[in-house]
Amino acid sequence: MNIYVSNLSFNVTDDDLEGFFAEYGEVSSARVITDKFTGKSRGFGFVEMADDEAARKAIAELDGGRVEGREIKVAEARPREERGSNGGGGGEKRSFSRNNSYNNRY
């Protein structure tokens, strides 16, 4: 199961994140997401656990817990949504036109 962890302190490392979940079962991977330009934490991460039952127990017990004074949120990760081909949200092209007297004259 893939688990989403948010509201992490910017000091939390991959190893720290793995440690939070290791007492509930085997952690396949733990990764704090970082900004691609600065390399600094973005305050959230993902943990993958092979045993779904252990993962559910970890979610139930860790959600709302405090790490470095911050209340973390822990939930089953949702599948990543597909983005449109234009790279932005929405997926459809939109055009802009102005209906005013200036445009109507030319």
CATH number at residue 19: 3.30.70.330
| Domain residue limits at 67 | 2-76
Residue 33 lies in a domain: yes
Predicted local confidence at residue 47, as pLDDT: 97
What mean pLDDT comes out for the span 76-99?
Answer: 63
Look up residue 70 and give its two tokens. Answer: 């911050």
- Structural domain includes residue 86: no
Q: Is residue 87 part of a domain?
A: no
CA–CA distance, 51 with 57 (Å, rounded to integer): 10
Q: What number of other Cβ atoms are within 10 A of residue 13's Cβ?
A: 13
Question: What is the pLDDT, as a whole number, of residue 50?
Answer: 94
Let me know if residue 100 belongs to a domain: no
More confident residue, 26 or 104: 26
Question: CA geometry: angle at 82 spanning 2 and 17, to 5°?
Answer: 25
